[in-house]
A and B are shown apart, each in its own frame.
Chain A
Amino acid sequence: MGLARQVDVTASAMASPDAAHHPAPSHKRRKSQIGLAFIAPFGALFALVFIVPILYAVYLSLFQDKLIGGNTFVGFANYGKLFQDPQFWDGVGRVFRFTLVQVPIMLIFAMALALALDSMRVHGTRFMRVTIFLPYAVPAIVATLMWGFLLGVKYGLFGSLNDAFGTDLDPFAPGTTLISIGVMVTWAFTGFNMLIFYAALKAVPRELYEAAAIDGANELQIVRAIKLPALRGSLVVTIIFSIIGTFQMFNEPQILPSMVANSGVTTFYTPNLYAYNLAFTGSQQGYAAALALVMAAITITVAYVVQIRGLRNAPDQ
């Protein structure tokens, strides 16, 4: 009997060491309080730098601050005006077109590079990985300046090529500027996306490849049947990142006009640039806030649709 009691006590102590000393309800409450304390610093900062600015933007978007006459409540007038503003839709259309062309090209590059590194047939994998990733570490402003010189027709690489071949190509003519920006962005972000794909490939159990090889599959079949499906989750993530990044495009069109004449970059070239110019040269903070919120809604919608569609019927999600 004595032994049995002893065992009993040990068992209950093992099952839940705290339960023996505290009644269940207060224990639960305390646990959740500790949790709250842990997330409090995050919560405070999150509210300060994320929630508060959004609420402030919502507030601002309901007002119009005139140079003469001051600040007046205008309700949803800023939103109404925005939907009829051809300059806003011009910028939205541009980032959509840019996304449709640039994002697939960049992600195919990134995927091809990740597969090449993962195939273990490339020498100096670590060196390659760092080299391809490096452009991501270059600040966008520096990258734009660099590409500006490289693509410049006057003294840049394209100028020399034009001289050598007697051509008249201008990467920063109004019709081609967007393509040139696409080249810059692809250069900057391919490495970042490649790392995400590469990490996903590394997570695939090697035994799968062995099993496939034993079954007689060649490299191409392994890629098709194992590796590409394994990349599906990462692909959705990278697409969403890229869409968000593109919709926020700002640095490149902001800097280009100071380097190249008449590249076709207007003050409303992208929605973000337009919002900036509205707020800081036009003193139209309310209108700019409305634009920012509408753009956020569009971005969230697009990203969400991509996520739902991308993960539908996904084997492992």
Chain B
Amino acid sequence: MRLSQKARLLSAVLVPMFALTACSGGSGGGSATGSGGDQQVKLTVWSWDGTVAGAVPGFQAANPNIKVEVVNAGSSQDEYKALDNAIQAGSGVPDVVMFEYFAVPYFAIPGKLADLGKYGVENFKKDYVPGAWSDVTVNGKVYALPSDYGPSALFYNTATLKKAGIDKAPATWDEYYEAAKKVRALGGDHYIAQDTGDIFFLLSLIWQAGGRPFKVNGNKVHIDFTDEGTTRAVAFWQKMLDEGLINTKITGWSDDWNRTLNDGTLATQTMGGWLTSTLPERAPKAAGDFRVALMPQWKQGDKVGAANGGSSFGIPAAAEHQDAAFKFLEYFTHGGGLSSRVDAGAFVPNTSVLDSEAFQSKANRYFGEQKVGAVLAEASEIVGSGWQYPPFFEWARSVYGDLASPFYTTGKGSLAEILEQWKQRCIQYGNEQGFEVD
């Protein structure tokens, strides 16, 4: 009796353990490579994008020999960790994986991602907006296909701007600066925007101004925050902060941020196009007040943009069914799977979708029946090309917060000094990690 109880206890502990091991090695189970044979192939797809599952039935109907299993491996950070572990362990490597754009070089440079050149993806180039294509290209080779995009756009609250005596969206950063002063003159908590050290915003500003602070070439990374575009963007934002035109007490995505968006005290947000899908949830009380415009320009008459966020899908070099995986990748990001995703609300960088009448003419109720798609499509096509993230950006952005925080609380120092310190830290870390950084 006692023994059997103990055995039961032990098995209760051990069974799930073995089950886990079995799961993680699951995709390694005997099956054919390639897609020519009649044998069933099982693909494992890792993603946190909710629209993946919706594309699976259509794909399986067209490819009866391929079965797709979608696994949510957690947040992007969790997923990268799990992928690194699987690659290191040599088992349980998924066939298709989702990556934020800045994470592509992190996996591509050490050779952990398959070069998609053998599938002729070079021909796809014209089907995507140039910025997204450059995001998945590392050292001239394509390692992933873009799946969703975040062109920077200006979201502005017409009611607040009107109160400040402004009747249209600022078209240049000079106009933005003047508008900021008028909004601030409303008193209280009225600000044109908030910033507590948002590196993605600062980089999009630099990006749009023509700065290219990171130059990646194989293992070599060159960092320079003193080129003309970077200097101009940084000096502008420094001026905005110095003159107290930016709220440095409200941090993005916090409860306070939601409230200030709701009550209209934050007049604008320069963020990725994806804000169209979350703003209605975060600021329901401001429904009808917000509109979307292109990012303000550095020179009147220019049309240059930048990106902020977005992601792609690639195939690990250690994946077992690479040919079948590419079939799914193509279907999901380029072919028949697109329509179901667009219907589900995905913002894709495919010109076939962005240029379509249906996408461009759809009115958005939250944004006062504005045809938001047309604006974001234009914002996508004008994203400045040639931008690169360092392969260790995930680490770098967490450290940026440490360095920027003292400046944002005390006002002592400057953004340029922070960027210089950041560069030094990146050089040290990058070299420790085996890159050649200078």
Contacts and interface: CB of A to CB of B under 8 A. Distances in A.
A41 B405 contact: no
Query: Which of A259, A262, A267, A281 is the most central at the interface, judged by chain B CB atoms within 10 Å of its CB?
Result: A262
A261 B255 contact: no
Given A67-B392, A282-B398, 6 more contacts: A174-B409, A258-B253, A264-B409, A282-B395, A283-B395, A283-B433
Given A68-B110, A266-B402, A261 B395 contact: no
Interface in A266-291: 266-268, 277, 280-283
6 contacts: A67-B392, A154-B249, A155-B259, A259-B251, A261-B248, A262-B409
Contacts of B399: 267
Contacts, number: 85
Interface string B240-257: 000000001111011110
A267 B81 CA distance: 18
Interface of B: 6, 9-10, 13, 77, 81, 84, 106, 109-110, 196-197, 219, 248-251, 253-256, 259, 391-392, 394-395, 398-399, 401-402, 405-406, 408-409, 429, 432-435
B434 A68 contact: yes
B235 to A, nearest CB: 22
A282 B429 contact: yes
Nearest to A81: B432
B15 to A, nearest CB: 14
A41 B254 contact: no
A98 interface: no
Contact of A68 (B219, B249, B259, B429): B219
A262 B434 contact: no
A155 B391 CA distance: 40
Nearest to B256: A154
A44 B9 CA distance: 12
A45 B13 CA distance: 9
A262 B256 CA distance: 14
A6 B336 CA distance: 97
Given A173-B409, A262-B248, A264-B409, A66 B434 contact: yes
A291 B199 CA distance: 28
Query: Which of B219, B253, B405 is the most central at the interface, judged by chain A CB atoms within 10 Å of its CB?
Result: B405
Contact of B395 (A45, A153, A281): A281
A258 B399 CA distance: 15
B254 A267 contact: no
A233 interface: no
A66 B259 contact: no
A67 B391 contact: yes
Contact of A67 (B398, B402, B433): B433
A283 B84 contact: yes
The 9 A-B pairs of least Cβ separation, nearest first, read A68-B434, A261-B251, A261-B196, A66-B434, A69-B434, A266-B402, A67-B433, A262-B409, A154-B256
Contacts of A261: 196, 248-251, 254, 408
A69 B434 CA distance: 6
Interface of A: 41, 44-45, 66-69, 149, 152-155, 173-174, 257-262, 264, 266-268, 277, 280-283
B214 to A, nearest CB: 15
Nearest to B404: A262
Contacts of B435: 67-68
Contacts of B254: 258-261
B9 A41 contact: yes
Contacts of A282: 395, 398, 429
B391 A152 contact: no
Contacts of B394: 281
A258 B255 CA distance: 9
A257 B10 contact: no
Contacts of A69: 434
Contacts of B196: 261-262
A179 B144 CA distance: 47
Contacts of B392: 67
B379 to A, nearest CB: 27
A45 B197 CA distance: 45
A294 B399 CA distance: 23
Contacts of A260: 251, 254
A87 to B, nearest CB: 9
Given A68-B219, A267-B401, A281 B251 contact: no
Nearest to A66: B434
A67 B110 contact: yes
Contacts of B259: 154-155
Contact of B401 (A155, A174, A257): A257
Nearest to B409: A262
Contacts of A266: 401-402, 405
A121 B402 CA distance: 52
Contacts of A41: 6, 9-10
A154 B197 contact: no
A44 B11 CA distance: 13
A262 B395 contact: no
Contacts of A154: 249-250, 256, 259
A149 B219 contact: no
Nearest to A277: B398
Given A67-B106, A262-B248, A281 B433 contact: no
A174 B248 CA distance: 14
A68 B106 CA distance: 10
A267 B397 CA distance: 11
A277 B397 CA distance: 12
A281 B77 contact: yes
B433 A66 contact: yes
A262 B255 contact: no
A254 to B, nearest CB: 12
Contacts of A268: 402
